[in-house]
Amino acid sequence: MKVIIPLVFIALAIWFLALSSPAEIPIPQQAEFDRADLEVVAQRTEFPDPPLIENAGLQMTCVECHSIFDSSGEGNTAQRQQHLHIVLNHGMNASCYNCHSNENRNKLILKDGSELGYSQVQNLCASCHGPTFRDWEKGIHGRTNGYWDATKGEQTRLVCTQCHDPHSPAFGKLKPLPGPNTLRMRGGGPPDPDYKHSKKHNPLILKPLNSPEGESSHE
């Protein structure tokens, strides 16, 4: 019995090998994506201080219009006659005057009534979003452009409104970028020009298809 069981397994193995065809590893296709998604520029343009609005081809500050007509009662967005393109969807903020000064439209306003310029917009956001603001200060939240090593160049922290629409700050659904291709040594694309000249090869860079390793790595 001890001899029969191994012989049965050996026979089954030979039978499976004889009937099975060589397995082919599927080669994933190169995923397509918009390269603009990799740009390091800000998603939104930061307002200058004081803010400038283009109206009829002219650049004007908020005060230049709001000083002409009385808009003190238009804090409720349902009563607006201008800025109709703005959709206010920011939590409990149902009034323009929660963030904008009613006395000076070129300024923002904090809960205690103190005014601040648009160049300090992050301090206005901090008055309601304290934990997120602390993360932003430490570089955990938001984005920093420039050099990781500050000794080699400048770093620039994007402020809140360069990523979020202040009137409707939630992001919509984002299409994820393609994941890493684990079979890139046989994928399409330019080979690594330094492959033959380096003993250490980066596995994330394509190998030349005509190289010995490139031909044998698929087998």
Q: How confident is the model over 60-73, as pLDDT tens digits?
A: 999 988 888 877 76
Is pTM beyond 0.75? Reply is: no
Residue labelled with tokens 């000083």: 67
Residue labelled with tokens 């049965």: 8
On whether the CB atoms of residues 171 and 186 are closer than 8 A, the answer is no
Lowest average pLDDT, out of 17-21, 58-62, 86-90, 215-219, goes to 215-219
- Residue 89 pLDDT grade (very low, low, confident, very high; cuts 50, 70, 90): very high
At residue 118, the pLDDT reads 94
CA–CA separation, 27 and 210 (whole Å): 17
Q: How confident is the model over 195-210, as pLDDT tens digits?
A: 555 556 565 555 554 5
